[in-house]
Amino acid sequence: MARIDELLERLWTDYRTLNPQAAAIHSLLESRGERVVNDHIALRTYDDPRIGLEALSAAFMKCGYAPRGDYSFPEKKLEARHFEHPSGHLPRVFISELKLKAFSDAMRSTVKRLIDQMPGDLPGRWDLPVAGRPWNVSWADYELLRRESEYGAWMAAFGFRANHFTVLVNALKSFANLNELNEFLKQNGIKLNASGGEIKGSPEVYLEQSSTLADQADVTFSDGSHRIPACYYEFALRHKMPDGRLYSGFVEKSADKIFESTNKR
């Protein structure tokens, strides 16, 4: 358990450093007497077998996490899976991978060139999910990837780290619903992702989600520094299913729009 605690803490520390709005949101919620509970952590990767979903999830699987749901996003050319820990006290982990065969030769060769730069032992390491960017990438390569996939460009720029953490709205006491939380955040200067509406999902699909727009971060490329969208914070309200249990999975139509929180603006 110690190793998973260390991994989760490192993911949070790295994420919070790259995403200052997370600390600001925590402060806002704590000032109302709230205790923030994390619903899930999301990570991204390419489907290259060295670092694909199976490789990236291995660190969590070795610590007791088990797969609980598979998802497909044809428009974004992504596949994903979510994992849960049997303790019930640790956050879900949502890992997605970009299907490289769906893209141009130029994009595939660019991604392969990046991955080939990795240290040979990295794919098998327990801390792969928080290894950061293990390759050099140029601004020209970033832009080439972004023209085909914002997701693919984000991965090239930031590498292995939490793409977002998620506030479990069910654990908040001073908000009646997700809309109230969203209004509170906006009143305090937090910009939300409005793609597909500020709230994605509904009680009918047992999950409502919203997210901030990603913080901007200065990223060093091999040919200069540029300011681009980094990470974002998500908010999830889970509803009870007919059997009385809270829904524990994800809704593809909603997640498809949440991905756009990191799109370049």
Q: Does pLDDT of 2 surpass 80?
A: no
Number of neighbours of residue 106 by Cβ within 10 angstroms: 13
What pLDDT sits at residue 265? 64
Alpha-carbon gap, residue 170 to 39, rounded angstroms: 9
Say which range, 90-94, 208-212, 251-255, has the weakest mean pLDDT. 251-255
- Give per-residue pLDDT as tens, 49-97: 999 999 999 999 999 999 999 999 999 999 999 999 999 899 999 999 9
% pLDDT > 70, the chain: 99
Task: Report the pLDDT averaged over residues 41-56.
Answer: 97
Q: Given a cut of 60, is residue 217 above it in pLDDT?
A: yes
> Is 48 in contact with 111 (CB distance < 8 Å)?
yes
Q: In what order do the strands lie in the sheet with 162-168?
A: 66-73, 78-84, 92-98, 38-46, 162-168, 232-238, 207-211, 200-202
How far is the C-alpha of 40 from the C-alpha of 22, rounded, in Å? 14
pLDDT 10s digits, 111-169: 999 999 999 999 999 999 999 999 999 999 999 999 999 999 999 999 999 999 999 99
CA distances from 38 to 20, 102, 119, 124, 153 (A): 17, 33, 32, 27, 27
- pLDDT tens, position by position, 182-207: 999 999 999 999 988 999 999 999 99
Q: What pLDDT score was predicted for residue 77?
A: 96
Q: Residue 1: is its pLDDT beyond 80?
A: no
Identify the structural domains of the chain with CATH numbers, from first to last. Answer: 2-262 (3.10.180.50)
**Please, which residues bridge with residue 72 across strands?**
79
At residue 260, the pLDDT reads 82
CA nearest to 220, candidates 137, 110, 129, 99: 137
pLDDT at residue 264 is higher than 80: no
